[in-house]
Every structure is written in C-alpha cells, then in structure tokens.
C-alpha cells in the first residue's frame, strides 16, 4: 500500500447552505481544517452581523474553522466591510455578477456602483473573490469566463492595483494565462474541472451531477487546468466549489448548478495528481499556496492518503431530511483518507 502524508488541507471555496442542508453537509468537509464559506444564501449574507451569525451556525453544524465572506451588492456599506474584516469576522468579499450562478440575483450589475466599496477594501487590504463570468444572454455560455477577463477583470486590476484578487473556479486556458500574467492574483481550481470536461457531461446523454457554473469546458482547457494545479505554482490552489443541492433538484428538467465533491475531494485529487505524475506537488495545491495567498499560517497537523483497492463511495448522503448525490467520476479511485 502506498501512502502520502501532507499538511492538513484547506478549502478556499465551499458552499454549505443553511438550516437542514447545512447540518447535513457540514460534517462532510471533515478532511479540511479551514474553508472559505460562500455567502449566497437566501437572503444573502451582506453585513458583518449576518456573517457572524452564519459563522455560529456553521460551527454548530460541525465545521469548526469557517472563514466567512460577505456578498457584495450595490448597497454594501464600505465601513461595515472594513469593520467586519478588522474584527476577524470576515476574511473576504465575494463579487457575483448578477444572474451568474445559484442565488446570484442580488449580485453586481454595474461595477461603477461598487467603486467606493472596492476602494475601501483596497486600502484596508480586504481580499475580493470573483465569480468570473459575464452574464449577457448573447454571450455563449462557454465563452463567458474569457469575456469576463477582458471586459471586467483587466480594467478592475488597472483601477485597483492594490486590491487582493482571487479569481474563483477558473475553467479556461485564458484564465490560467491571465493569472500567470498578473502577479499577486490567486486562482482556485475545482475537483470537477480537473476531473472532467464537457464531453463527460454531454456525450451519450446529459449527466446532471456534472453540471456546474462555470460550466465544464473542452478537454484542452481541462489540460491547462491540470497543468496549473499540478505545477505547484503559488497562484493556484484548491477551492472545491462543492455545492450541494437536493437530488431531486439535480435530477430535474432544469437541474441546479453545482457538484457535491466535499466528501471525497482529496481521494479524487490524489487520483488526478498521480495521473499527472505530480503527487509530490499535491500538498502545495491543497495546503500551502492558499494560506500564502491569504496571508495565513499553514496548518500544523497532517493528513495521510493511502492507495489500495478501488474505493467505493456512497452514491448520496441522507441526513436531516436531505438527500444529496455525490459527484461520481465514473471510474475506479484507489485513494482514500486514512
């Protein structure tokens, strides 16, 4: 049996939802020490007080070290953001273009409307996380990330050069190249975008549990993401974007966007990194680069992955009245967390 011991990983992009769903899925991220918790609830988490209350609910549900975010709206109070960050309540602010993904209707429609918030964040060194897609209906869904780089992110970087940026769940060669060309910018990469491409989702029939936003892209983009993740380079780190939805909402005529990968994210990553001949760089991607980007210490404890017989993962979790189906890569995985 082979084994690999790494520093305890963190998840720099995680959805836990609320209420019964929160209680059902929070324990499934037990392999991670810390996680940046996304704020797109209904209603969204928009103030420091709301973030503090949500943090308490997350801890009570079984995830001990959540790092909270605020949902940026055109009515966000800059002073509240700065105060919440200074108090240690909020780690970052999340920018959702309105309509880009699940529960993003309250997001930003006009970037000029949030300039005062961005300026205050830049001065106070509050990081900004971005869902990097435009939402114009005339832009093809497979091109929305690349268009965002040109239309939104490049001007934003020029106007606020001191603002700490994290481009979330990058999915394209263009995004990887943009991050490499802009020192100081970080990028999270998900398990599903490393594991699969749009053929896996669409060829032979639509597989709803592969559907997420940003959507899976061509195999050539998947190859670029794998090269970035397995390089060990500092700008690239793990953000699972694990996004639970009830099974009935995924297996429907208009399925919800999101892949639930938290319970088996690390075995899947070990599989990917082994395929790429880069197991020695898994720790950088999961445990070192993210803390460096967010100016946080690495975790003191470790986690061991072992390789043995093919692992069978449960099809779904059933807890607190919720049924959530796991992302299934469709092939054997031989790694597991000890």
Tell me the C-alpha distance between 39 and 15, whole Å. Answer: 8
Tell me the C-alpha distance between 23 and 201, whole Å. Answer: 29
* 241: annotated active-site residue: yes
Cis peptide before 276 (omega within 30 of 0): no
Show the CA angle centred on residue 187, arms to residues 183 and 193, nearest 5°: 145
Phi and psi angles of residue 46, each rounded to the nearest 5 degrees, phi first: -115, -10
* Choice among 10, 11, 80, 241 that is catalytic: 241
| 3-state SS, residue 213 | coil
Spatial contact of 95 and 109, defined as CB atoms under 8 Å apart: no
User: In this structure, is the dihedral angle defined by the CA atoms of residues 42, 47, 50 and 56, taken in order, positive or negative?
Assistant: positive
Spatial contact of 31 and 67, defined as CB atoms under 8 Å apart: no
Cβ atoms within 10 Å of 204's Cβ, excluding its own: 7
What is the residue whose two structure tokens read 């946080």?
296
Give the E-state strand segments of the chain in sequence order.
2-7, 11-14, 35-37, 66-71, 90-95, 128-131, 165-168, 186-189, 236-238, 302-311, 316-319, 322-325, 333-337
Q: Which residues are catalytic?
A: 241
């Amino acid at each position: 049996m082979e084994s690999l011991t790494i520093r305890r990983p963190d998840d720099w992009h995680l959805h836990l939802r609320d209420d019964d769903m929160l209680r059902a899925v929070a324990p499934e991220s037990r392999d991670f020490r810390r996680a940046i918790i996304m704020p797109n609830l209904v209603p969204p988490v928009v103030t420091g007080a709301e973030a503090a209350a949500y943090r308490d609910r997350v801890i009570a549900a079984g995830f001990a070290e959540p790092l909270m975010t605020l949902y940026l709206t055109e009515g966000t109070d800059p002073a509240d953001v700065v105060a919440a960050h200074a108090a240690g309540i909020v780690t970052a602010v999340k920018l959702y273009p309105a309509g880009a993904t699940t529960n993003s209707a309250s997001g930003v429609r006009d970037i000029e409307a949030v300039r005062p918030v961005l300026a205050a964040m830049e001065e106070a060194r509050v990081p900004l996380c971005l869902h990097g897609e435009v939402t114009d209906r005339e832009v093809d869904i497979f091109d929305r990330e690349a268009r965002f780089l040109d239309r939104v992110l490049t001007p934003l970087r020029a106007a606020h050069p001191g603002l700490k940026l994290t481009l979330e769940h990058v999915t394209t060669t263009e995004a990887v190249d943009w991050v490499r060309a802009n020192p100081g910018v970080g990028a999270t990469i998900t398990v599903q975008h490393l594991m699969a491409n749009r053929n896996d989702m669409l060829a032979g029939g639509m597989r709803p549990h592969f559907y997420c936003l940003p959507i899976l892209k061509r195999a050539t983009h998947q190859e670029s993401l794998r090269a970035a993740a397995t390089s060990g380079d500092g700008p690239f780190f793990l953000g699972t974007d694990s996004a639970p939805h009830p099974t009935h909402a995924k297996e429907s005529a208009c399925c919800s966007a999101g892949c639930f990968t938290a319970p088996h994210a690390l075995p899947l990553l070990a599989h990917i990194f082994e395929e790429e001949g880069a197991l020695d760089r898994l720790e950088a991607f999961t445990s070192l680069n993210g803390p460096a980007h967010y100016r946080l210490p690495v975790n003191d404890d470790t986690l061991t992955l072992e390789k043995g017989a093919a692992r069978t993962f449960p099809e779904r979790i059933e807890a607190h009245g919720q049924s959530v189906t796991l992302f299934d890569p469709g092939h054997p995985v031989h790694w597991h967390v000890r």
